[in-house]
Amino acid sequence: MTPSPLPSAHYWSMILLLIVLLQASFIQSAKIELNFMLGTPELDWEYPFKGWSYYIRAFNMMREQPRSEVGWGQWSKPNAPDNFNSVCGIHPMGFTCEDGTTTETSNCAGTYTEMEKCDYWVCGEEEKGGIRGSIEGGMGYWPGYTLEKSQVTWMVPGSTTANYEMFGGTFLNDRPQPCLNLGGAVRISNRLLVPNDFISFEGGANIDGFLGYMLQATPIGKRAATDTANYWTIIADSANFKGPVMYMSTWFWDSRLSWHPQSKNWASPDAALGYIARGFEGRISAMQSETHTDGSNNKFARTTEWGMPLDSDDLHSTLFTGHSRYPDDWLTALLDGIMDGTESDSAEDAKLKDAAMAARINVGCSSTDSLETKEAFLEFEGEGETFTIDGLGVTATDASDADIESQGCPVKYLLDKTKLNCSGPGNMCLASKFFTVGGERKATDDVPAAAQSSIPDFPIHRVDNRRATGPPAGPERQCFENPGPAAADSRMYCTRTNTKSWIGFKWYRFVDQPELTNVFASLPEGERETAKAYMQSRIEKLHALGKDVPWFDFPGGEDALPAAKVSIDESLLLNPPDGMEVGFVPIPITQRMRVRPTDCEVVVGSFAEEPEPLEDDYYDNFDEVYFGREQFECSGTGVDGMTYPGSIFGLPPDPTADRLNYEYVVPIPDLAVEDAVIVPVSNPVIALDDVEGVTASPTPATIGTKSPTPANDENPATDAPTNAVTASPTPATIGTKSPTPANDENPATDALTNADEEMEIDGAASSTSSASIFKVATVLAVVFGTILF
């Protein structure tokens, strides 16, 4: 498909991106950014299909608090079969929000029959824009718009629709996520608290292990027995949690794309996966000396310390392995059987895992020889100056044919121990952090002590995004308060994660969770209660499986992995309250770094109180990072201000139904609703874990040694009497120390600098709406799969 001509607004965003890119790259500043370049072999996916899985390494690549965004993960895009769309795949009215009244978009507003005449941009093309959307995620660090942290986390909510107009979950911690945008991160599990700020792990500074990561179309979100929509679902396989984590509702795609009764989107049954990028993306920060140079007048500099983890063979570092794809519908009948109560499964039966292993199609890969970035290097691209630093000792290497054929393309690197320092703690080989500007890697011994000490510390990094990380702001309250948390226990629970942040969460009946508000609101009134009852009864059956029934596994079993499976942060693993064993899910309400919410009613996990409270002046002199709520202002024939997206015609639970009966006029948020008043609680119930070794052990947590059984009992009812005492949290064992609190992060520049590449890959470009340039750029920058693919 040849690139489409782009609306002018897109060019403006490109120009702005370039301006910021140049500003960010002036080599005169002490801090510079280096692209991290490391290739991964090309996978032999055979599109289209409806599910993939692989094992991705969770490890602390960055050994100090990261200053730049770097990640390894995936970016999946839809497949549009020929003649998929009979009407434009993009909501035409969005153009009028972007461009105002022009003759070109004069047919792009009004009723759906009027908008059929819109032939602006892709609407005028044969394929009518295909399917919009992406599902992204993986391991990494996103310091520009997450809470501050030094540990790797798993970005699990990461779907986007309508050219980045809407994100699944609160994807960015820099703006409120409007209630009407919820629906892309429906919480499934009643055992795992899925934070908006991503999932953390056990292991402290030395987190290292593999996470099974599956994206699969499932029937989990079915609203009626007739429903055949694709519910794109993220499923995990880790040492201490196995099963589905979240899914994307039909609303998520419908709400901005189903402008016409014939509209289709990624949830349509005939849509599939059509492109998967997988690999590295990002940058490593460095500081340069102002005074000390080598003999050739090149300044000495050093990067944030980083490294790669060793496999059990003590030679290689495997980052992805077990690539699999799945034939259509391998899971549907079995899962429907479990959720309808006609089929059972248990860890012993392992029917789900057996079905996955029987269905999986091995995905091989091509040789690494053709990679331009077979050897890792760092690259500086600045105004008039470009250099690379190579010889880092990390080289892509081919797995044996037998391993590729049986284990799905292990992506592995040979580690050169003469160039990397593998003698430190953990399983890590550290890269040389010193280099000279101009491009030479330097061993520590080759940098004079005076030159080393002349390199300034990284500027202090602070992100004050408190206003955007909950509790839900006024207009968003409707999704959280109506119908609201479970009547039987609506208390605010709190837990402190291994990334030193506190999450305040409440238990909701599955169908009452905020991410499902719009799903039911958009159904005709007569169908709402039936759909709720149907979905609630099915999730209860699913919850009965617990968190230890495997849904898939590494081909050859865990022992064949180059390192053990990783353990998810125990503070996120929960037992539901008594009497609420199935059918209720924990929903994060607020998350803050090193501050326990004042309205906690029950404190669970490992910490009763914050062990490292923030200094009072912590955020002084740091600008707040807060982008307001986005409200579309559209103008043009038939458009009246903030009416976008207007009427939509979502995919009905019965695909044969007349969609005209499913017209839903999307309400406009009431911006006048005020924020909730927070009522402090002076004596919360302290109900910490009572598992030995979790709170008592003074040794650092290591993978696989903590509570191997689902023993961590977070049931306040039973724990409170014994634990409510002092519960001094012996914390240091959990959570890493950040070596330096130094850092500087300007999300605007950091995010934008990487974004230009993405614009091309997405091809999509062109926001159909007034989505701010910043938003588009920021998100494009987090997308995985840049120039390396």
423 or 699: whose CB is closer to ligand NAG?
Answer: 423
444 or 453: whose CB is closer to ligand NAG?
Answer: 444
Tell me the window of 404-412, 418-426, 615-623, 670-678 that interacts with ligand NAG (CB under 6 A). Answer: 418-426
Binding-site residue total for ligand NAG (CB under 6 A)? 5
> In this structure, what token pair is assigned to residue 490?
């609506």
Residue nearest to ligand NAG (CB): 424
User: Cβ 426 to ligand NAG, closest distance in Å?
Assistant: 9
460 phi and psi angles, rounded to 5 deg: -65, 135
Binding mask 48-87 vs ligand NAG (x if CB under 6 A, - otherwise)? ----------------------------------------
Does position 448 bind ligand NAG by CB under 6 A?
Answer: no
Using DSSP bridges, classify how beta strands 602-603 and 685-686 pair: parallel, antiparallel or unpaired.
parallel
SS3 121: helix
E strand or H helix at 780? helix 773-782
124 or 424: whose CB is closer to ligand NAG?
Answer: 424
Packed helices 8-24 and 773-782: angle between N→C axes, nearest 10 degrees:
60
User: Cβ 498 to ligand NAG, closest distance in Å?
Assistant: 21
> Which sign, positive or negative, has the C-alpha torsion 271, 272, 274, 279?
positive
- As to burial, measured by CB atoms within 10 angstroms (0-12 exposed, 13-18 middle, 19+ buried), residue 224 is middle
Binding mask 584-613 vs ligand NAG (x if CB under 6 A, - otherwise)? ------------------------------
Tell me the window of 217-225, 423-431, 489-497, 524-532 that interacts with ligand NAG (CB under 6 A). Answer: 423-431
Q: What share of the chain is helix, strand, coil (3-state, %, to 5)?
A: 20, 25, 55
Does position 452 bind ligand NAG by CB under 6 A?
Answer: no
89 and 129 Cβ atoms separated by less than 8 Å: yes
Tell me the window of 365-373, 403-411, 420-428, 531-539 that interacts with ligand NAG (CB under 6 A). Answer: 420-428
Residues 548-577 contacting ligand NAG, CB under 6 A:
none
Chain centroid, CA 506 distance in Å = 21
User: Cβ 766 to ligand NAG, closest distance in Å?
Assistant: 48
User: Cβ 36 to ligand NAG, closest distance in Å?
Assistant: 20
Which of 248, 244, 211, 213 has its CA nearest to residue 229? Answer: 248
β partners of residue 150: none
429 or 494: whose CB is closer to ligand NAG?
Answer: 429
SS3 734: coil
176 and 480 Cβ atoms separated by less than 8 Å: no
353 or 442: whose CB is closer to ligand NAG?
Answer: 442
721 phi and psi angles, rounded to 5 deg: -60, -40
16 or 430: whose CB is closer to ligand NAG?
Answer: 430
User: Cβ 428 to ligand NAG, closest distance in Å?
Assistant: 8
65 or 240: whose CB is closer to ligand NAG?
Answer: 65
**Triad 231, 233, 236: Cα angle to 5°:** 165
305 or 713: whose CB is closer to ligand NAG?
Answer: 305
514 and 170 Cβ atoms separated by less than 8 Å: no
Residue carrying structure tokens 């043009």:
636
Does position 424 bind ligand NAG by CB under 6 A?
Answer: yes
676 and 471 Cβ atoms separated by less than 8 Å: yes
350 or 422: whose CB is closer to ligand NAG?
Answer: 422
Which of 780, 788, 784 has its CA nearest to residue 751? Answer: 780
β partners of residue 495: 503
Residues 6 or more apart whose Cβ sits within 8 Å of residue 538: 220, 222, 339, 340
User: Cβ 444 to ligand NAG, closest distance in Å?
Assistant: 5
297 or 423: whose CB is closer to ligand NAG?
Answer: 423
- The amino acid occupying position 295 is G
424 or 448: whose CB is closer to ligand NAG?
Answer: 424
Does position 739 bind ligand NAG by CB under 6 A?
Answer: no
User: Cβ 302 to ligand NAG, closest distance in Å?
Assistant: 12
395 or 421: whose CB is closer to ligand NAG?
Answer: 421
Does position 444 bind ligand NAG by CB under 6 A?
Answer: yes
Does position 293 bind ligand NAG by CB under 6 A?
Answer: no
Tell me the window of 42-50, 71-79, 417-425, 569-577 that interacts with ligand NAG (CB under 6 A). Answer: 417-425
**Triad 57, 566, 414: Cα angle to 5°:** 30
Packed helices 8-24 and 755-762: angle between N→C axes, nearest 10 degrees:
150
185 and 194 Cβ atoms separated by less than 8 Å: yes
Tell me the window of 46-54, 73-81, 422-430, 500-508 that interacts with ligand NAG (CB under 6 A). Answer: 422-430
Among 332, 406, 421, 452, binds ligand NAG (CB under 6 A): 421
327 or 424: whose CB is closer to ligand NAG?
Answer: 424
423 or 656: whose CB is closer to ligand NAG?
Answer: 423
User: Cβ 424 to ligand NAG, closest distance in Å?
Assistant: 3
Q: How far apart are CA 757 and CA 267, in angstroms?
A: 28
Q: How far apart are CA 589 and CA 174, in angstroms?
A: 15
Tell me the window of 416-424, 448-456, 556-564, 616-624 that interacts with ligand NAG (CB under 6 A). Answer: 416-424
215 and 51 Cβ atoms separated by less than 8 Å: yes
User: Cβ 501 to ligand NAG, closest distance in Å?
Assistant: 27
Does position 423 bind ligand NAG by CB under 6 A?
Answer: yes
User: Cβ 430 to ligand NAG, closest distance in Å?
Assistant: 6
E strand or H helix at 317? strand 316-325
> In this structure, what token pair is assigned to residue 715?
């049931």
User: Cβ 741 to ligand NAG, closest distance in Å?
Assistant: 20
Binding region for ligand NAG (CB under 6 A): 421, 423-424, 430, 444
